[in-house]
Structure 1
């Protein structure tokens, strides 16, 4: 799928565009399939988007929420992706608890947690082991080093192709993450990228040739649409349109 790149003047405009894109795709999924499955990203960039979603009128009982990656910390920890989303969004809307699927971080080993989450995803989608579900929306961010989810440069998680979820790590700290096979099965993948510090990685990711091991975001090539939504600081030097399609 050829990526679509959109650049917005500032973070406020970026968040507004992302909100429009996600709400439109949620409603489309519900119209077509009676429910919408979303895999969320963490970090600071999507936080205002989640806060905006908390003020949006949506059929919350039809929306099923997962996370594409998580730090291996308690849900109450300040750097928990689930904890942040819960505080700014999920606690503020009438979404059924059964529709919220945080990654487990209380298993003895992260590898066991990854297996448990994979089983939970398959059960929710009604699929057998060995199947790969298709998410309606996968929301991703990108680090200065070109990583996405918790797929970091030159780490073992990049080569995992026989699992949906795996244990990863950054600087010796364990993470849980979707693998490339699962990330690339989405109907709509949306990157949200802000800040001038992302320019170097973006240049490498959009180069005609490059190394996925060095810049893992290059490995995101979904079967469905791929949208890169950037603010002007991140997208400086890229010539593209600036409106959502």
Structure 2
């Protein structure tokens, strides 16, 4: 009961106040339990097709700008099905291919004609369809038996040709938040000197080849291309999770542009 002006206590007033307190507490807990909408540093694309078209257009625009400014365009390519379609679309564009140089950001430890080869994918989608000088194409010199020597050779190639200073680095992201072949809890994550290394990946029980964080950071432009519902959790960890790049390698990437479809954000 509450004390009134004449000193008596009123049970009805107490009931009103208790009821109000219960309602307020319910509203409070309902508010804090309500998941907050996630905000993104980009506007998601409505479809993969729209995203691929945008990447293609942006690639052509940047290529022409760089060629006009300095006479060449140095690109580090990504593997994956989404970039593959971009490469197919680029094959139909009228670009000065003799001024464009292609490198690979990562590669599988398989021969160049193997179905899992990133070089093979790019060659079928793009290189075989355009007139580009062979000296402008810089694939990883895969050595299945000795990946360390192959990585060292490619590291030297990168230092000699462009010193890792790409005009554009294209990257994807896996559902485990790996990028290039920088997989969670693998040795390459700690590399600080070399641009390119071999990297043993326990989940595949196999070696991969990959550019390092230092190489990625040296790119003037770095574009993240991320699509599909399977990437939702990884993307959320990269954007809003506690810093743990050993577990989520893509957290250390600072892209200049994001190309992400709606499915990866819902």
**TM-score scaled by structure 1?**
0.88
Q: Deviations over 1:82-126 (max 9, x none)?
A: 00000110010001000000001136411111110011112223x
Separation in structure 2 between the aligned mates of residue 28 and residue 213 of structure 1, nearest angstrom: 36
Secondary structure of the residue aligned to 1:23 is helix
Separation in structure 1 between the aligned mates of residue 177 and residue 200 of structure 2, nearest angstrom: 15
- Aligned pair 1:211/2:248, yes or no? no
Q: Structure 2, unaligned stretches of length 5 or more?
A: 1-39
Higher RCO (CA 8 Å, separation ≥ 6 residues): 1
| Other-structure match for 1:235 | 265
| Other-structure match for 2:176 | 145
- Aligned pair 1:168/2:205, yes or no? no
Within the candidate set 98, 103, 107, 1:66 is matched to: 103
- Aligned pair 1:134/2:150, yes or no? no
Aligned residue pairs, count: 225
Separation in structure 2 between the aligned mates of residue 30 and residue 4 of structure 1, nearest angstrom: 29
Cα deviation, residue 75, structure 1: 0.6
Preserved CA contact (<8 Å) 1:4 1:226: no
| Other-structure match for 2:112 | 75
RMSD, matched Cα: 1.4
| Other-structure match for 2:221 | 188
Cα deviation, residue 148, structure 1: 0.1
| Other-structure match for 1:128 | none
| Other-structure match for 1:240 | none
Secondary structure of the residue aligned to 2:80 is coil
Cα deviation, residue 4, structure 1: 5.0
Secondary structure of the residue aligned to 1:66 is strand
- Max Rg structure: 2
| Other-structure match for 2:32 | none
Cα deviation, residue 159, structure 1: 0.3
Secondary structure of the residue aligned to 2:111 is coil
Secondary structure of the residue aligned to 1:7 is coil
Within the candidate set 133, 139, 142, 1:102 is matched to: 139
Secondary structure of the residue aligned to 2:114 is coil
Separation in structure 2 between the aligned mates of residue 121 and residue 139 of structure 1, nearest angstrom: 16
Deviates more, 1:5-14 or 1:86-95: 5-14
Preserved CA contact (<8 Å) 1:114 1:176: yes
After TM superposition, which residue ranges in structure 1, 4 or more long, deviate above 2 angstroms?
A: 3-6
Separation in structure 2 between the aligned mates of residue 113 and residue 33 of structure 1, nearest angstrom: 30
| Other-structure match for 1:199 | 232
Separation in structure 1 between the aligned mates of residue 82 and residue 63 of structure 2, nearest angstrom: 20
Higher helix share: 2
Q: Structure 1, unaligned stretches of length 5 or more?
A: 126-131, 237-245
Gap change, CA 1:220 and 1:61, over 3 Å in 2: same
